[in-house]
Amino acid sequence: MKIPVGKLHSALKKSLSPCYLVTGDEPLLATEALDAIRLEARKQGFGAREVHVVAGAFDWSEIAAAAGSMSLFAEKRIIELRLPTGKPGREGSAAIADLMQKTGDDLMILIEAPKLDKTQASSKWVKAVETTGVHVQVWPVDLREMPAWASARMRALGLKPDRDAVRLLVDRVEGNLLAANQEIEKLRLLLGEGPVSGADVENAVADSSRFDVYKLADAAVEGQAARAIRMLGKLKAEGVEPVIVVWALTRELRSLARVAGFVQSGMDLGAALQKAGVWRTRQGIVRSCAARHDARDFYRLLQIARRADAAAKGQMKVDPWQLATEVVFGLATTGRKAA
């Protein structure tokens, strides 16, 4: 069956399907839909996960073998298929249709693809998925729907925005859901739960000592190592909480890792930037950063950032600023130099 992404959570509460296909070009909503499915699957005992990215001369026999093999510890398993183009080809279409016959209590299939055109949506493999499981369609949020979406998102995080706060936020992000979500997360970090006014939104932007965390991230992404390290020291001297700095750096690293992953799967860099939701005004510096690093670099830096976050929250006896320095320097230099 087919359902819009807005009905996924209620559908998951009723039952877990043996197969899900998530399609659409809205990165934030698609990622959240996939995460919601994985979370529910984990709750129901699916402890093993195997990911296959369909790119280039992909060997479809790997999928058949993976579906037919038994887990070493007899765990329930998820096999994920990522289709960057949404076109598995004749062999792939047959393989996916065959895969639907192997799903069951111990095997779930999760497929991710971009928005499908009319021909793709009526293909045999999509119909096979819809017969066996659930096709989750992710549609962009219309500009007219953005205020309601932003208000609901803020309230879900414990914020209570007034009308001016929502209007200013929506005006600033210009329909970009990833940007809107980032701004909402920043407001939650700065203000905590409770009322949010239009003045609060304006002040969050005007608060230069905190807003400079964005400039710090940009300097690191641009490769300006010395400048980025100086800015980090300035933020520390001004008393900015390290958790905010680490949050901004982690956000950048996740975006960069996502871009690098798409490129690694065979996607053109321009398409990867668009799919990852990178603003056009920032695509130049992200391109330069992607040229200095590969996906492994970003994942390595993410591991350091996670330790920095734990340290900033008192969960590790390590200096979070020292770890943040490692992240900034690693991001601003080449992978080899940082290592």
Considering 166-175, 211-220, 288-297, the range whose residues carry the highest mean pLDDT is 288-297
Spatial neighbors of 251 by CB under 8 A, at least 6 apart, are: 182, 217
* Domain residue spans of the chain: 2-137, 143-206, 208-338
Q: What percentage of the chain has pLDDT greater than the value 90?
A: 43
Model confidence at 214: pLDDT above 70? yes
Segment 279-289 shows an average pLDDT of 83
Per-residue pLDDT reduced to its tens digit, 56-67? 778 888 888 877
Average pLDDT, the chain: 87
Domain spanning 143-206: which CATH class is it, in words?
Answer: mainly alpha
- Residue 211: pLDDT band with limits 50, 70, 90: very low
Give the 3-state secondary structure of residue 19.
Answer: strand
Number of helical H runs and strand E runs in the chain: 18, 8
Model confidence at 279: pLDDT above 60? yes
Output the pLDDT for position 299: 92
Output the pLDDT for position 207: 46
**Nearest partner of 104 among 183, 187, 153, 46, judged by Cα:** 46
Per-residue pLDDT reduced to its tens digit, 72-91? 555 788 999 999 888 898 89
What are the angstrom distances between the C-alpha of 219 and each of 25, 60, 302? 29, 42, 17
- Residue 237: pLDDT band with limits 50, 70, 90: confident
For the chain, the distance separating the N- and C-terminal CA atoms, rounded to the nearest angstrom, is 48
Output the pLDDT for position 74: 54
Segment 262-291 shows an average pLDDT of 85
Segment 204-208 shows an average pLDDT of 52
Per-residue pLDDT reduced to its tens digit, 93-110? 999 998 898 888 888 999
What CATH fold (topology level) applies to the domain 2-137?
Answer: Rossmann fold (3.40.50)
Output the pLDDT for position 174: 65
**Nearest partner of 28 among 183, 229, 158, 211, judged by Cα:** 183
Output the pLDDT for position 208: 39
Q: What percentage of the chain has pLDDT greater than the value 70?
A: 94
Burial of residue 15, with CB atoms counted within 10 A of its CB: 0-12 exposed, 13-18 middle, 19 or more buried: exposed
CATH of domain 208-338: 1.20.272.10
Regarding predicted confidence, which is higher, 315 or 69? 315
